Amino acid sequence: MSKKLVFGHQNPDTDATGAAMSLSYLANQKGFDTEAVVLGEVNKETAFALNHFGLTAPRVIEQAGTEVDSVMLVDHNEFGQSVSDIEDVKISHVVDHHRISDFHTADPLFYRAEPLGAASTVLWKMYQESNIEIPKGIAGMMLSAIISDTLLFKSPTTTPTDEAAAKDLASIAGVDIESYGLDMLKAGADLSDKSEAELIDIDAKSFEMGSNSVRIAQINAVDLDNIMQRSAALEESMHKEIADNNYQLFVTIVTDILNSNSIAIVLGDDTAVAKFETAFTVSLKNNHADLPGVVSRKKQVVPQLTEQLAK
């Protein structure tokens, strides 16, 4: 069987990276020949986790078809969020926890998605079902991924299965969930050295919603004021991205990870912006809106926006 690459979405976060490492290890135990890779440099949070567990970051790839015929995707499925030449390779496996959209295959495949807090939680279930032992480092990365995606179980995407998985993984990895988790989240929220153009790209994803091309960036922060003081420059960077990529809507969600609230910065076509206001029953003031209690793009932003923009 020829080699396969395993990777998460562009702008890799801790779940995209950790789930790729986890699925690659699991698949190799089952006889596949795979390598976990990433579609960009890992962020500070992921680097903190890798360093804590003594692991090196997976290799960055730009294209998959130059190396392999077939790939496994984790933590995403939408082609617009995947490797640039995704249409040229066969997708044999997907392990995910997002909506399915902008995705298709010619052949039957293995697809495992569940509405859980992290792709790594789905993988934890797959390890349980296979009776395969999770190595300490992989367990540490999977735990980090669950903490990252659920913001230490405060996101409404959190399920009892995520908490059970985290508990089990923490005992394998030998860390205290709360203290390790807070340190890791804070390492990721250190944005002091980032330009505005970088801030709106660290955790940004593209979505097709109806006939609209929508970009949604999320900035996790411990000090919202610090970020919002830079909103004029952030908006300038967002305008540039809109012009360069013909987005109908660009939303940057600045999330207070300690208090679980967000402020949205919203730019784009008048019609699309008006639909954002309808979707969240808000009136933008200077392109900004408070979104109290919103921390999950997947559950609290994408479905609501899709419903309006698909009309």
Residues at the annotated binding site?
A: 9, 13, 15, 75, 97, 149
Among 103, 124, 247, 276, binds a second copy (CB under 8 A): 103
Q: What is the token pair recorded at 206?
A: 């593209």
When asked if residue 85 is in the footprint of a second copy (CB under 8 A), the reply is no
* 108 contacts a second copy (rule: CB under 8 A): yes
Instruction: Pick the stretch among 25-33, 55-63, 108-116, 250-258 that binds a second copy (CB under 8 A).
Output: 108-116
Q: What is the chain's length?
A: 311
Q: Is residue 233 part of the contact set for a second copy (CB under 8 A)? A: no
Tell me how crowded residue 79 is: count the other CB atoms within 10 A of its CB. 18
Q: Is 164 in the site for a second copy (CB under 8 A)?
A: no
Q: Which is nearer to a second copy, 146 or 200 (CB)?
A: 146
Annotated binding site for Mn(2+): 9, 13, 15, 75, 97, 149
Residue 31 burial by Cβ neighbours in a 10 Å radius (0-12, 13-18, 19+) = exposed
By CB under 8 A, residue 168 contacts a second copy:
no
**Does residue 1 interact with a second copy by CB under 8 A?**
no
Q: How many CB atoms lie within 10 A of CB 80?
A: 18
**H-run or E-run covering 266:** strand 261-268
| Residue whose CB is less far from a second copy, 6 or 224 | 6
| Residue 141 phi, psi (nearest 5) | -70, -40
In the complex, least distance from residue 298 CB atom to a second copy, rounded to whole angstroms: 6
If the CB atoms of residues 200 and 272 are measured against a second copy, the closer one turns out to be 272
Three-state secondary-structure class, residue 221: strand
270 lines the binding site for a second copy (CB under 8 A): no
Alpha carbons 169 and 146: distance in angstroms, whole number: 10
Shortest Cβ 194–a second copy spacing (Å)? 29
CB of 115 to a second copy, least distance (A): 4
**Residue 299 in the binding site for a second copy (CB under 8 A):** yes
Which of 60/310 has CB closer to a second copy? 310
Please tell me whether residue 279 binds a second copy under the rule CB under 8 A. Answer: no
Q: How far is 90 from 268, CA to CA, in rounded Å?
A: 35
Q: How far apart are CA 203 and CA 194, in angstroms?
A: 13
In order of 79, 205, 211, 243, 281, the CA distances from 253 in angstroms are: 22, 12, 22, 20, 16
Q: Does 67 bind a second copy (CB under 8 A)?
A: no
Torsion of CA 217, 221, 223, 227, to 10 degrees: -30
The bridge status of strand 204-209 relative to strand 110-113 is unpaired
Strands 90-96 and 110-113: parallel
List the one residue from 40, 55, 67, 112 that touches a second copy (CB under 8 A).
112
Minimum CB–partner distance for residue 288 and a second copy (Å)? 25
| Residue from the set 109, 182, 197, 228 that interacts with a second copy by CB under 8 A | 109
Q: Give the residues lining the site for a second copy (CB under 8 A).
A: 97-115, 129, 157, 298-299, 302-303, 306-307, 310
